[in-house]
């Protein structure tokens, strides 16, 4: 069980799941952003454009729907490390790493295979990328700290409940004053009977 948990917590596994969610979301919602390309006689141009277009679909937007879709998708994807790691630093570093991956390849490929078109939209795309990375950072840190606080409150409540149960089970021998963390029938120190046959405690609770 621990081995499975360790594998699931590994950054590579989380990264793979996050990328899979992004790809599935793009396919399910059929989201597309129009990317312009330079004219090319390269026979591989079609493949190159497909990859660039595919990467753009998960990181960029040019409409209100696109803005909502891309931001909401990345917020959902960012929840995975937040829920798994009880540490905001690990959460935001994992999320920014995942965000960096498609961005890096998109910008490199687009610049290399379509220089003119890339230059004309670079500043706009860069601003969108920076804003989205800030959103991911804020969500990762904010939700991680909130979740950590909620977990702390729940743990404190459990500790209080355990202490209350312990106090309820504590009893004292009326003859020698020996304190017990349970409610025994006889005092082991002076052998006095602490419980009636009916089960009623003779000693007082502490």
Domain assignments of the chain as residue spans, ordered by start: 2-164, 169-206
Mean pLDDT of the chain: 83
> pTM of the full predicted structure?
0.72
As a whole number of angstroms, the distance between CA 129 and CA 123 comes to 10
Q: What is the pLDDT of residues 134-148, one digit of tens each?
A: 999 999 999 999 998
Number of C-beta neighbours around residue 152 at 10 A: 11
Rounded mean pLDDT, 78-105: 92
């Amino acid at each position: 069980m621990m081995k499975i948990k360790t594998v699931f917590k590994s950054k590579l596994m989380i990264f793979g799941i996050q990328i899979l969610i992004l790809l599935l979301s793009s396919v399910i919602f059929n989201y597309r952003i129009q990317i312009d390309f330079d004219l090319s006689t390269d026979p591989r141009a079609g493949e190159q454009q497909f990859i660039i277009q595919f990467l753009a679909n998960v990181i960029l937007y040019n409409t209100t729907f696109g803005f909502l879709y891309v931001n909401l998708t990345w917020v959902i994807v960012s929840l995975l490390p937040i829920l798994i790691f009880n540490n905001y630093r690990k959460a935001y570093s994992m999320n920014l790493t995942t965000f960096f991956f498609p961005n890096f390849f998109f910008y490199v490929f687009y610049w290399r295979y379509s220089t003119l078109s890339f230059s004309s939209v670079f500043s706009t795309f860069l601003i969108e990328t920076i804003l989205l990375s800030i959103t991911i950072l804020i969500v990762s840190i904010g939700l991680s700290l909130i979740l950590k606080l909620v977990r702390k409150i729940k743990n404190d409540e459990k500790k209080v409940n355990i202490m209350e149960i312990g106090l309820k089970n504590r009893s004292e021998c009326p003859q020698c004053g020996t304190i017990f963390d349970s409610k025994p029938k006889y005092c082991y120190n002076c052998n006095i009977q602490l419980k009636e046959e009916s089960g009623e405690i003779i000693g007082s609770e502490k």
